[in-house]
Amino acid sequence: MRADPAARPHAGGGGSVAAWDGPTRLFKWSLVALVAAAWTTQHYGLIEWHLRIGYAILVLLVFRLLWGVVGSSTARFAAWVTWPWTAFRYATGLLRGRAPPYLSHNPLGGWMILVLLALVGAQAVTGLFTVDDNGIYGGPFANLDFGDPTPVQSLFGRWHHIAFNVILAFIAIHVVANLTYQFIKKDPVVRAMITGRKPVEPFVDQPAMTPAPALVARALGCLALAVAIVLGGIRLAGGSL
């Protein structure tokens, strides 16, 4: 985890600076679309599509884990995963109106991202073991023999059907926080996740994004590896796709 950085002002004469690479932005908006599609297909009983979307979400999450290691500088976990007390100090500074600007996720936002990724990941993984109310459709591990499968399926099923409300609550907090930064603090975090750029400021983490070498090829390689890990892992574990 990163230590709490000291402020390092740099000369900025206006203009903008690269903040987020294309793969990171595509991941974010694709995940938003897929989570919305997962809810829609479940709500309208399109279970086969719901399963496919669940696989796609898992692939995206694994891709993000890989990209968090080999991606561009602002996408790497090392750039924005901090110690909890660093996030607490940032939060107290934020309440006092003295929070420094970050090019990547600030310490508090970084923990919110981790929580959201964990919740969506848990939702997708439990879906692999869940059967629908009629017992007709289920995830690839729904029929595995756990010795006493009914309690296992019941446990994962309860989480899968109830936890989405928890995810919605954290999504709401995330959206409100981003809109607050965008319109009240005048930190264009939402626009930056669309355009990939931010106005130049004395950022305390890094002055500009350093793109990953061979960015497109590296991103496609991570995506292909994510597909292999998710689908291959399910087959190797005895699941049925």
Tens of pLDDT, residues 105-119: 999 999 999 999 999
In Å, the largest CA–CA distance within the chain is 66
Tens of pLDDT, residues 128-178: 988 766 555 678 887 765 545 567 777 887 888 888 889 999 999 999 999
Give residue 10's pLDDT band: very low, low, confident or very high (50, 70, 90). very low
- Residue-level pLDDT at 236: 93
Architecture of domain 21-236: Up-down Bundle (1.20)
Q: Is residue 227 over pLDDT 90?
A: yes
pTM over 0.85: yes
Q: Which residue has the higher pLDDT, 101 or 143?
A: 101
